[in-house]
Copies of this chain bind each other. A is one copy, B any other.
Amino acid sequence: MRNKYPIGILGATGMVGQRYIQLLEDHPWFEVAWLAASDRSSGKPYGEAAKWRLDTPLPERIAKMTVSPADPDGAPKIIFSSIDAPIARDLEPKFADAGCAVLSNSSAFRMTPNVPLVIPEVNAEHLHLIEEQPSRKASGGYMVTNPNCSTIGLVMALKPLEERFGIEKIFVTTMQAVSGAGYPGVASMDILDNVVPYIGSEEEKMEAETLKLLGKLEGHGVTPLAAGITAHCNRVPVIDGHTECVSIQFKRKATAEEILAAWDEYKPLAGKDLPFAPKQPVQFSALPDRPQPRLDRNREKGMAVTVGRLRPCNLLDWKFVLLSHNTVRGAAGATILNAELLASLGKLETLAAAHA
């Protein structure tokens, strides 16, 4: 048995940081080796620095680890990062320059031309952009990002349709869980018996990221998909799980059967044996009132996207509903699956060796 890759976590006390820790417990390839957070937390035992909000116990070993300063010195060579964009903009390149593979859930560099924005099932080939990053040559380090929590479910449901029918127009309205805003995040006074029809910058992120993810790697960058997209983003009183209502127009007409088949047969990671890859990434529920966040968010340990209510649209071609777990598939699990893909491609080996 080979040794596990040691993983460092930037933003370890946040909601996504906690999910990294939860999901990496018992991971066959990776092991949490280093935790960093804000200066306020630095130097404290993690169990004291973090207000653990997940429904599985904080592992004892992690509780006792001392939170490190957010500095590459002494950090392992693989970094999972989930920190606020303004801080990420400064910190993540430092780690890449120091020779780390920085796998980031932050929005800071998602739209940067030479930084791949990747969902393994969707656009693994975009990872070649790593080689466009100056740090890669200098130190071996690089940055890879995963999408916003509301984007990822949408793109996973769209990709198999784009491949077969071509996408021209996308309407999407989201109903997003409060965990997407971190902790303390959304005030209870704002969301009990309420809906907040606004999430700062979310619509812009969804629109831009979706087209980059569905775009083509060409030359030194990605040409975004030439499709129209508009997003309406809302916060609702749900703990985990983003629900999205989608209307879509194709280039070529498609029947309901063809769409269902496209989703059903979409298994691009089959045979790769990535531990976090869902067997059936897009799962159709035939029940008339599904998917629902409380009932469907944990399918395939939260890594699958559930779709339902496929029906004709009066304005575009088809309407449907999708659901994905925003802090698993939409954040921590996305980073982990990116790391697994990079490991399977040999892009972590030398880094890990360097650390050992």
- The interface of chain A, by Cβ under 8 A from chain B, is 15, 53-57, 169, 171, 173, 175, 178-179, 183-198, 207, 228-230, 232, 234, 236-239, 243, 245, 247, 288-299, 308-309, 313-316, 319, 321
Q: Are B192 and A319 in contact (CB under 8 A)?
A: no
What is the bound-complex CA distance between A315 and B315, given in angstroms? 11
When A197-B291, A228-B314, A293-B194 are in contact, do A247 and B178 touch as well, CB less than 8 Å?
A: no
When A197-B243, A291-B197 are in contact, do A229 and B314 touch as well, CB less than 8 Å?
A: yes
Inter-chain pairs besides A178-B192, A184-B187, 10 sampled, C-beta below 8 Å: A54-B295, A55-B298, A171-B315, A188-B188, A192-B294, A195-B292, A197-B243, A197-B245, A198-B290, A228-B315
CB distance from A170 to the nearest CB of B (A): 8
Specify which of A184, A187, A207, A295 lies most central, judged by the most chain B CB atoms within 10 Å of its CB: A187
When A188-B186, A289-B196, A298-B55 are in contact, do A316 and B230 touch as well, CB less than 8 Å?
A: yes
Q: Are A197 and B315 in contact (CB under 8 A)?
A: no
CB distance from A86 to the nearest CB of B (A): 20
B residues less than 8 Å from A190 (CB atoms) = 53, 184, 188, 292
User: Considering only CB atoms, which chain B residue lies closest to A15 in the complex?
Assistant: B189
Specify which of A193, A295, A319 lies most central, judged by the most chain B CB atoms within 10 Å of its CB: A193
> Contacting A292 at CB < 8 Å: which of B179, B184, B196, B295?
B196
Q: Are A195 and B238 in contact (CB under 8 A)?
A: yes
